Amino acid sequence: MFILAAVLCAPHAWGYLGSFEDQDGYQDGSQTPTRDVTTYNAGAYGTNANGPGGSATTITPNDGLFTKFDQGNISDGYGELVAHHSLGRTGNAGLVLRSSAGFGDTGGDGADYLYTFDNRDFGGLSPTTITSGTVALDYWMSPQTSFFQTGTVTSTSFLNSAGDTIFSVGTVGQGIFDARPYIQWQDANGWHVTNILGNNVAYDHIMLSFNLDNNTVSFSYYASLTGLTTLLASDVAAAAPIDNLSGIHFVAQANTEQNRYDDFNIASSIAVVPEPSSLLVLLLGGMTCFGRRRRK
């Protein structure tokens, strides 16, 4: 039996995460108070990236693409993970992770959220079907920590189908009167702290490449404070097997004011093997095209 293999490169497209604008499926707080992303159908409406359209709808908390694991006030005007007007890199809004008492961290336990990838994030392909090849993922971040904070302040972790951390990008507080944190990252060998300072008033660029066949990750960081891009990790061993990418785990310690994200972009390169019936259709289609060319 002949097997036809094709390589698909998903187009760069703003998807369910995207740029956190209204047509990406997010309420940015410009017309109404900011809403926690777990309280409405965040990322599940809008027309960008071939979305279904529609509008924001209140849901039972945690029944959407975002899940909150910690305590905290998520009523309108509060929320520890929100799309916030005027805080984006592009457009009107950015995603803001915040965990001070004024932003709803009434339990004093920081912020802890999971986002589950959807087809729109991968250009229409189901994330569960992308089990080989490479996935390139990049986004922009403006990291911030509170004064005197030391140790890990925030972490952005990418998960496999079992919910295990594959790779993380994190921030470390300086412990002085400076809200600019140091950048760190986590692979199979643990955390690695760099001497790169994140910009808490402008956006830095995080560029990741996941090799699903070799279980390795590459990581580059553009620091807007210096204008330099640094390759921090090249094909390092992932912290867990990369059977696929299932989601992102956003975590912030207490008193983190505003860790901002914007412009997520995902592209994949995978091998697609059609079913026998699909193969026949493709072959017949190819013969038809060949016949048309002969008649010209």
Tens digits of per-residue pLDDT, 263-288? 999 998 764 444 444 444 334 444 34
Tens digits of per-residue pLDDT, 200-220? 999 999 999 999 999 999 999
The yes-or-no verdict on residue 133 having pLDDT over 90 is yes
Instruction: Give the chain's count of helices (H) and strands (E).
Output: 1, 15
Query: Where do the structural domains in the chain lie, given as residue ranges?
Result: 7-295
Comparing 291 with 134, which gets the higher pLDDT? 134
> Is residue 147 very low, low, confident or very high in pLDDT (cuts 50, 70, 90)?
low
Would you give the DSSP letter of residue 292?
A: H
pLDDT in the model for residue 175 = 80
pLDDT in the model for residue 13 = 39
> Is residue 243 very low, low, confident or very high in pLDDT (cuts 50, 70, 90)?
very high
> Is residue 257 very low, low, confident or very high in pLDDT (cuts 50, 70, 90)?
confident
> Is residue 176 very low, low, confident or very high in pLDDT (cuts 50, 70, 90)?
confident
pLDDT in the model for residue 107 = 87
Torsion of CA 147, 153, 154, 158, to 10 degrees: 160
Contact 158, 248 (CB under 8 A): yes
pLDDT in the model for residue 148 = 66
- Sequence letter at residue 156: T
The yes-or-no verdict on residue 9 having pLDDT over 70 is no
pLDDT in the model for residue 45 = 95
Mean pLDDT for the stretch of residues 37-57:
95
pLDDT in the model for residue 174 = 86
Residue whose token pair is 């002949």: 2
> Is residue 152 very low, low, confident or very high in pLDDT (cuts 50, 70, 90)?
confident
Mean pLDDT for the stretch of residues 49-64:
95
The yes-or-no verdict on residue 150 having pLDDT over 80 is no
Fold topology of 7-295: Jelly Rolls (2.60.120)
**pLDDT averaged over every residue in the chain:** 86
Task: Go through 29-60 and write b for each residue having 16 or more CB atoms within 10 A of its CB, e for each that does not.
Answer: beeeebbbbbbbbbbbbbebbebeeeebeeee
